[in-house]
Amino acid sequence: MSTQRKTALSHDLYKRALLDSFRKLDPRVMCKNPVMFVVEAGFLITLLLAFFPTSFGGQSDPGYNAAVSLILLFTILFANFAEALAEGRGRAQADSLKKTKQDAVARLVQKDGSVKAIPATKLRKGDLVIVEAGELIPGDGEIVEGVASVDESAITGESAPVIKEAGGDFSSVTGGTRVVSDTIKVRITADPGESFLDRMISLVEGAKRQKTPNEIALSTLLVTLTLIFLIVCTTLLPIAGYVNAAIPMATLIALLVCLIPTTIGGLLSAIGIAGMDRVTQFHVIAKSGKAVEAAGDINTIILDKTGTITFGNRMAAAFFPVGNASEEELSLAAAQSSIFDETPEGRSIIELAKRQGVSSPVLDIPRAVGIEFRAETRMSGTLLPDGREIRKGAVDAIKAHIAEKGGQIPAELEEKMRQIATEGGTPLAVAVDERILGLIYLKDTVKPGMRERFEELRRMGIRTVMCTGDNPLTAATIAREAGVDDFVAEAKPEDKISLIKKEQAQGKLVAMTGDGTNDAPALAQADVGLAMNSGTVAAKEAANMVDLDSDPTKIIEVVAIGKQLLMTRGALTTFSIANDVAKYFAIIPAMFMLAIPQMSALNIMQLATPQSAILSALIFNAVIIPILIPLAMKGVKYVPMSASRLLGRNLALYGLGGIAAPFVGIKLIDLALVSLSLV
């Protein structure tokens, strides 16, 4: 996106948020935020007093009442602007997603096998459609026939197409994506308006955003504080009458507004919306704010090994000859067995053999025939023109094959297998006819930086557990190299659920990643389930977050964002409540100084007049909200630390800062009002 386009987007966003700030003045909207609703009620009363000074009994200054009313109006508008700005960012993302929903034509397969073109909006769950290269996939579904390259850039932003095929964990396709090559038959899995893209748009718009338990608890605290201070201010009127101190109604309202936690009350919704927005910026769609918040309280993360902690593509690292075979003989046989193997694994074997001296000409064998890998045999290889048969595959499969031919198993084969497994590798045996030449050491490399990332999680107090189907020796080696806290080897789907339930039974919150249908139960059981967009529909339905980039390691970023959300809310709550302490010293002395001269001793800020003190406190109370909007939207900088250290940091930085800032701000505003002769 160009700078000019970003600027235009920002201008549109701010303009829309400004208009929404006024629309939200509707009492039916304001009543959803009790703190700001009280401020709005105060605004209406002081506005009435500005035109009718004798209202509510007594005589008051119309100019002073109007000033208080105007400041209260800006306080409400600033709070509304913060919420509207957060919502506007979500709507901007939703608008960009809507552009991907084009009016597509679907080629529906009829019961008689014929194909009929219909609008995509008429498709229903269970319909079968044919999609060819260059066409948009008309709706969410699963491939039931064929293999195709699919461009998902409209959804994920990634330009590289992905391979989708019938069966397995990569059969799910999303409406609005485009088939780049080949032809596929897709079974539609969602009715119009219920597709994944439709739900994404609804989620980022925030129209159905529900408050999280933490947010509800904080809202309850704010309402309670508001009621307490409302009672306090109400009782001040008879107390003032008893000491013959006249308190104008506008001053009483100003005191109430300054005492109630208006800062956090005005920013609370913006913080929650911005938290979901930050997750979306990482191409993760959270199905609820509760999921984002739960991520911040995670105690245990369960991660798959292959493709998450490791790269997933096993690469040849070394050759281990056995018996009387030489390393040169083994490397040549291994390379020849991989001539027809187009997998990354097969290509890496040939590359390793070439580095060890095998030349390209000896691999160019006319009339050679490839032996295809099959799940039943777990072997592949090459049949040479001279009748020799070279095979490579799982060690037990090669041993069984050699035993059938009457060959001998080298004595040191088991020892070499254990050596490779201990180093975290996978052994592949290579045999020529009935003779085993040795082993290929395949290594699944741990991704760079994983140890550091797991160390960061450890500093957060989060335990990491690796789940893998590998044998215990390999699993232990990878776990040690990656730096995870624990591992489960030879794990089956039910083992993941058992592990999650065991952790939850101890009162812990658990997160996990997955992409297959067999992961769906565990994703549903976990407190934070992050499903891959490339995975199955079942996995995405079971999870409460979907990663559009299909990057399992992104769970670490999600946790960090969740913690940042909680830290931001805690920091601003601390700052807001601490603010009130300074406001006491501005307003309380101002209210009673004339009737009780001894109260002037509490005027430690040396504010000019009672009216300037009250107006200065009100103005500071209003302007602090827009000043804190960037912090609420961006979030407090996340630094991994324990809960006790975090509390201490909040009290030191935002607690003491919340006390000191009003003293400085109110005094400066008071000086400005006096110099401008406004009081």
Catalytic positions, please? 304
Residue 275 and residue 631 in contact, taking contact as beta carbons nearer than 8 Å: no
Cα–Cα distance, 562 to 622 (Å, whole number): 29
Instruction: Tell me how many helices (H) and strands (E) the chain has.
Output: 23, 22
Q: Is residue 202 annotated as involved in ligand binding? A: no
Q: Is residue 392 annotated as involved in ligand binding? A: yes
Q: Is residue 103 annotated as involved in ligand binding? A: no
Residue 632 and residue 265 in contact, taking contact as beta carbons nearer than 8 Å: no
| Order of strands across the sheet that contains 128-131 | 115-119, 105-109, 128-131, 184-188, 141-145, 172-173
Rounded to 5, what percent of the chain is helix, strand, coil?
Answer: 55, 15, 30
Q: How many CA atoms lie within 13 A of 191 on its CB side?
A: 0
| Order of strands across the sheet that contains 389-394 | 315-321, 435-443, 425-432, 389-394, 379-383, 369-371
Cα–Cα distance, 483 to 501 (Å, whole number): 24
Q: Is residue 347 annotated as involved in ligand binding? A: no
How long is the chain?
679
| Order of strands across the sheet that contains 178-181 | 162-165, 147-151, 178-181
Q: Is residue 375 annotated as involved in ligand binding? A: yes
Could you give the C-alpha distances from 21 to 41, 73, 84, 274, 276, in angstroms and in order?
17, 11, 7, 17, 21
Could you give the C-alpha distances from 80 to 20, 120, 121, 168, 535, in angstroms and in order?
8, 39, 37, 48, 40
Cα–Cα distance, 37 to 210 (Å, whole number): 20
Could you write out the DSSP letters of every residue in 263-329?
HHHHHHHHHHHHHHHHHHHTTEEES-HHHHHHHHT--EEEEEIIIIIB-S--EEEEEEE-TT--HHH
Cα dihedral value 311, 312, 313, 315, nearest 10: 70
The CB density around residue 495, as the number of other CB atoms within 10 Å, is 15
Could you write out the DSSP letters of every residue in 327-377?
HHHHHHHHHHHTTT--SHHHHHHHHHHHHTT--SGGG--TT-EEE---TTT
Residue 275 and residue 559 in contact, taking contact as beta carbons nearer than 8 Å: no
Q: Name, in order, each residue with C-beta under 8 angstroms of 656's C-beta and a sequence gap of 6 or more.
A: 578
Residue 311 and residue 445 in contact, taking contact as beta carbons nearer than 8 Å: yes
**Which two tokens mark 503?**
């952790």
**Which two tokens mark 6?**
């970003």
- Using CB atoms within 10 A of its CB, is residue 626 exposed (0-12), middle (13-18) or buried (19+)? middle
| Residue in 424, 469, 444, 440 with CA at minimum distance from that of residue 313 | 444
- Using CB atoms within 10 A of its CB, is residue 357 exposed (0-12), middle (13-18) or buried (19+)? exposed
Q: Are strands 463-467 and 300-304 parallel, antiparallel or unpaired?
A: parallel
| Order of strands across the sheet that contains 545-547 | 284-286, 545-547, 528-532, 510-514, 300-304, 463-467, 486-488
**At how many degrees (to 10) do helices 262-281 and 196-205 cross?**
150
**Which two tokens mark 568?**
């931001």
Q: Is residue 345 annotated as involved in ligand binding? A: yes
Q: Is residue 508 annotated as involved in ligand binding? A: no
Amino acid at 678: L
Q: Is residue 182 annotated as involved in ligand binding? A: no
Q: Is residue 373 annotated as involved in ligand binding? A: yes
Q: Is residue 376 annotated as involved in ligand binding? A: yes
Binding region: 341, 345, 373-380, 392, 515, 519
Q: Which residues are annotated as a binding site for ATP?
A: 341, 345, 373-380, 392
The annotated binding site for Mg(2+) is made up of 515, 519
